[in-house]
DNA sequence: TGCCCATGGTAAT
DNA sequence: TTACCCTGGGCAG
């Protein structure tokens, strides 16, 4: 269930630890045996994320496309590192509140806290790094659809919605169906595509933000939080939104995505006091404006947050601030 | 300890 | 429209 930010982080792991070295590809679970044999022994030459999809290019021109879906996950083990960041992408660099450095220290400690050479990193909606005393490579845990193994690192994929070998043409076709991802291609062009797509549709903006053909990478959490941050009613048809409002939604998505990629967490309350910000980092609870807060008081006006199923997903909003 | 649900998209029906 | 993927966190008991 990772939203877009996690997939970019996962692609970065492959970039750092799996490119330009032969990869043994197997399917311990068996369901990807045929695909694995097409890729086995080749080198990965490129790792890309577009929205919630990830693409690994192999040196003979074939690609592996993976979509984690609601509970897919990658487990990395071996000589790998967690992505320690400077939090520079979260817009706080240079400010006086020290949050960026707090965050960097937090992640550094995770990566270096007596970390042995062999570590295990689970990347799904949350990230967990733990020492791994086992021998290398470790036994697959659970139903491993694909195992990618190099001399020093291993990545196990479990429970994906999509996992298939694609030709370059098929990759192009898949990406062509996706809306813009702020971290792929020209962000300004992405903004124009997003604005045009939203403003011609009668569909409620809450549905458009979740539509991967309109914009890539937004999931149920970011959708709810973006709409609250913009103080927009989720049911307003896209075509009725003022252009400035749609542009502001895109720019806020760019901001939240960058924070997510830098921190590995969906931090959506960036206007908190320093104290509350540390609490939000420390505990997973209470870190959102409206997501998963049905019945609880709005953090701004106190009105009970509403929840309604829309398009098969739960939508949360404040009936007063987003009237 | 067991049950339910979840930060999705695909494919069968 | 519904089943599937078949995991893991939260929570009731």
Q: What is the pLDDT of residues A6-15, one digit of tens each?
A: 999 999 999 9
Q: Do A20 and A160 belong to one domain?
A: yes
pTM: 0.88
The CATH number linked to A245 is 1.10.8.50
Provide the pLDDT for residue A106. 32
In terms of C-beta distances under 8 Å and separation of at least 24 residues, what long-range contacts does A29-37 make, across chains too? A29/A140, A29/A143, A29/A144, A29/A145, A31/A145, A32/A145, A32/A146, A32/A163, A35/A64, A35/A146, A35/A163, A35/A164, A35/A165, A36/A146
pLDDT at A161 over 80: yes
- Better pLDDT: A288 or A110: A288
Q: Is residue A202 part of a domain?
A: yes
Q: Do A13 and A127 belong to one domain?
A: yes
Give strand B nucleotides closer than 7 A to any protein Cβ. Answer: 6-11
Nearest residue: Cα versus C1' of C1: A312
Token pair belonging to A279: 């609490």
CB proximity A122–strand C (7 Å threshold): yes
Q: Do A124 and A155 belong to one domain?
A: yes
Residue bearing tokens 């487990």 = A75
Is A313 an annotated catalytic residue? yes
The CATH number linked to A131 is 3.20.190.10
Q: What percent of chain A has pLDDT over 70?
A: 81
Provide the pLDDT for residue A3. 87
Summarised one tens digit per residue, pLDDT across range A175-203 is 999 999 999 999 999 999 999 999 999 99
Report the domain count for chain A. 2
- The gap between A153 CA and B9 C1' (Å) is 29
Q: Do A203 and A164 belong to one domain?
A: no
pLDDT band (50, 70, 90) for residue A225: very high
Provide the pLDDT for residue A49. 97
Q: Is residue A293 part of a domain?
A: yes
Q: Is residue A270 part of a domain?
A: yes
| Minimum-distance nucleotide, CA of A222 to C1' | B7
Structural domain ending residue among the three candidates A174, A193, A210:
A174
Q: Do A151 and A207 belong to one domain?
A: no
> Best-predicted range by mean pLDDT among A263-267, A271-275, A283-287?
A263-267
Non-local (6+) Cβ contacts of A48 within 8 A are A11, A54, A55, A56, A57, A184
The burial class, CB within 10 Å (0-12 / 13-18 / 19+), for A294 is: middle
Structural domain ending residue among the three candidates A174, A192, A218:
A174
Q: Do A168 and A214 belong to one domain?
A: no
pLDDT at A109 over 50: no
Per annotation, catalytic residue among A9, A28, A48, A52: A52
Q: Do A170 and A274 belong to one domain?
A: no
pLDDT at A93 over 90: no
In terms of DSSP bridges, do strands A153-158 and A73-78 run parallel, antiparallel, or are they unpaired? Answer: antiparallel
Q: Do A162 and A193 belong to one domain?
A: no
Residue range(s) defining the domain that contains residue A268: 180-317
Within window 127-146 on A, which residues have Cβ closer than 7 Å to strand C? Answer: 128, 141-143, 145
Structural domain ending residue among the three candidates A174, A195, A217:
A174
- The gap between A311 CA and B7 C1' (Å) is 16
Q: Is residue A91 part of a domain?
A: no
CB proximity A224–strand B (7 Å threshold): no
Is A65 an annotated catalytic residue? no
Q: What is the mean pLDDT of residues A70-94?
A: 60
Q: Is residue A89 part of a domain?
A: no
Q: Is residue A110 part of a domain?
A: no
Q: Do A257 and A168 belong to one domain?
A: no
Q: Do A140 and A244 belong to one domain?
A: no
Q: Is residue A263 part of a domain?
A: yes
Which residues of A21-172 form beta strands (DSSP E)?
24-26, 44-50, 53-58, 63-67, 73-78, 119-123, 127-131, 144-149, 153-158, 162-166
Provide the pLDDT for residue A133. 59
Provide the pLDDT for residue A105. 29
Q: Do A300 and A157 belong to one domain?
A: no
- The gap between A4 CA and C12 C1' (Å) is 33
Q: Do A151 and A187 belong to one domain?
A: no
Q: Is residue A92 part of a domain?
A: no
Provide the pLDDT for residue A123. 83
- The gap between A292 CA and C12 C1' (Å) is 19
A168 and A76 Cβ atoms separated by less than 8 Å: no
């Amino acid at each position: 269930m990772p939203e877009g930010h996690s997939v970019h982080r996962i692609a970065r792991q492959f970039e750092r630890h799996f490119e330009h070295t032969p990869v043994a590809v197997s399917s311990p679970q068996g369901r990807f045996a045929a695909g694995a044999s097409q890729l086995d022994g080749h080198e990965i030459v490129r790792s890309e994320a577009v929205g919630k999809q990830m693409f690994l290019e192999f040196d003979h021109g074939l690609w592996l496309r993976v979509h984690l879906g609601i509970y897919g996950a990658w487990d990395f083990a071996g000589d790998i590192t967690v992505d320690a960041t400077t939090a520079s992408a979260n817009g706080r660099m240079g400010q006086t509140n020290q949050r960026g450095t707090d965050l960097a220290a937090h992640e550094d400690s995770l990566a270096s806290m007596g970390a042995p050479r062999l570590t295990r990193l689970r990347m799904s909606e949350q990230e967990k790094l733990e020492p791994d005393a086992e021998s290398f490579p470790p036994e697959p845990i659970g139903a491993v659809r694909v195992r990618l193994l190099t001399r020093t690192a291993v990545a196990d994929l479990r429970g994906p919605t999509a996992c298939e070998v694609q030709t370059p043409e098929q990759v192009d076709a898949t990406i062509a169906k996706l809306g813009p991802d702020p971290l792929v291609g020209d962000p300004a062009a992405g903004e124009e595509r997003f604005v045009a797509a939203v403003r011609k549709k009668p569909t409620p903006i809450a549905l458009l933000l979740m539509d991967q053909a309109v914009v890539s990478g937004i999931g149920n959490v970011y959708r709810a939080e973006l709409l609250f941050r913009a103080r927009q009613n989720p049911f307003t048809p896209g075509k009725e939104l003022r252009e400035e409002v749609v542009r502001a939604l895109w720019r806020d998505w760019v901001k939240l995505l960058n924070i997510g990629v830098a921190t590995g967490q969906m931090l959506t309350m960036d206007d908190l006091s320093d104290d509350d910000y540390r609490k939000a980092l420390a505990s997973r609870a209470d870190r959102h404006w409206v997501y998963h807060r049905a019945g609880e008081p709005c953090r701004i006006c106190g009105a009970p947050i509403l929840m309604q199923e829309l398009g098969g997903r739960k939508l949360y909003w404040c009936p007063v601030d987003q009237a």
